[in-house]
Structure 1
């Protein structure tokens, strides 16, 4: 079976009214991505930071039956299947009348379209993960800028080193005199690839005391 992504670039580039534009680099995709609105940026951060997400694409296709500018926010591929994600707008989160566009999304939510599960997401729920979003935002920015400077041999050695949980600071000390920044970015690479985990990412602002362990 082919492992090539079904969607590799956005099909819709129209910016929603008053939506801020974010141009970001995705280490997972190896390309630039353009996102419209803070909610889309936060969802992208979640997808980029999840090792279970193998691939994704922003605005892959229009929503059948919706207005001509309304599209799915992301297509996502995981090991167990594909998803089409929609971020509900404020008007769509309110009680809808029978002629509301929300009815279209309500009927699609939980169904499959071209083999992909459709999921409608309430952006308000992402506020519960503010610390994780901020931490992954920092990790992704550092990977975007410095990933290319990290030797793969270092990543391999780091994988072996975290068979026993260690803090970022301990790993930097253990691998001295190697540059501490390079070691930190190497640790971020392991987290991004799912070769390491850190429970504190969801609860504490990222720092040298965070404990890194094998998944």
Structure 2
């Protein structure tokens, strides 16, 4: 029997070089999902990136993959992402960017296009802010976390448990590493925390194991 091909490995998109004026924001982030650094050019793009990293259902993505047609005009898509068997472009409603290479004006093959503006992101503000605090833990400490430790943390939260209690149960392991494991498991879709949508991340934020019927978000 032939093993299924990882859809992320068949994702044939690459970021194009962006022409940036001195007035354009530039943010450098490290993507745990892509295992590389990204350069993003708006606060909204950073917010949407955090959302993509937080959902296990987003298998892979690429920033600034090239030009798409929006309102009958070419503009650079901010992202292209794949969720299971669906691939789509995302356009963030900020100042359109220009490519350094004039030949990059070639229009990408048509795919569904989702437009994201401030009104779309506003209901997710708490979730985004929490993940912007959580992702640096995964970026900085993820390499120190073993798969056995991830399994142990996951199996210890069959019922909702506050973050401080998870850290206490894992002693003498450094609480920072335990917290990293919790955040990474949540990013992978193995833990879930509805509290992340309703309040600021703190020691009382609860996490629990995802049951088989829930799957990755």
**TM-score bucket (shorter structure):** 0.7 to 0.9
- 1:122 and 2:127 equivalent? no
Q: CA RMSD in A?
A: 2.1
- 1:81 and 2:81 equivalent? no
TM-score using structure 2 length: 0.81
Give the whole-Å Cα distance in 2 for the aligned partners of 1:47 and 1:7.
18
The runs of 5 or more residues in structure 1 that have no matched partner are 92-112
Segments of 4+ moved more than 6 angstroms: none
- 1:41 and 2:36 equivalent? no
Give the whole-Å Cα distance in 1 for the aligned partners of 2:44 and 2:90.
12
Equivalent runs, 1:86-97 vs 2, <5 Å: 86-89=91-94
Which residue of structure 1 lines up, in the alignment, with residue 37 of structure 2?
32
Cα-to-partner distance string for 1:112-136 (whole Å, 9 max, x where unaligned): x746321122233212222111110
- 1:207 and 2:202 equivalent? yes
Give the whole-Å Cα distance in 1 for the aligned partners of 2:192 and 2:78.
28
Q: What secondary structure, in the 3-state scheme, does the structure 2 residue paired with 1:63 have?
A: strand
1:200·1:210 contact (CA, 8 Å) conserved in 2? Answer: yes
Cα-to-partner distance string for 1:50-98 (whole Å, 9 max, x where unaligned): 111110000111124635xx2111000001311101112479xxxxxxx
Q: What secondary structure, in the 3-state scheme, does the structure 1 residue paired with 2:38 have?
A: strand
Q: More strand per residue: 1 or 2?
A: 2
Which residue of structure 2 lines up, in the alignment, with residue 155 of structure 1?
150
Equivalent runs, 1:35-74 vs 2, <5 Å: 35-64=40-69, 66-67=73-74, 70-74=75-79
How far 1:8 moved relative to its partner? 4.7
The runs of 5 or more residues in structure 2 that have no matched partner are 97-107, 211-217
1:56·1:76 contact (CA, 8 Å) conserved in 2? Answer: yes
TM-score using structure 1 length: 0.82
Which residue of structure 2 lines up, in the alignment, with residue 146 of structure 1?
141
Give the whole-Å Cα distance in 2 for the aligned partners of 1:127 and 1:120.
14
Which residue of structure 2 lines up, in the alignment, with residue 98 of structure 1?
none
Which residue of structure 1 lines up, in the alignment, with residue 132 of structure 2?
137
Aligned length in residues: 192
Give the whole-Å Cα distance in 1 for the aligned partners of 2:61 and 2:153.
28
How far 1:154 moved relative to its partner? 0.7
How far 1:137 moved relative to its partner? 0.3
- 1:14 and 2:19 equivalent? yes
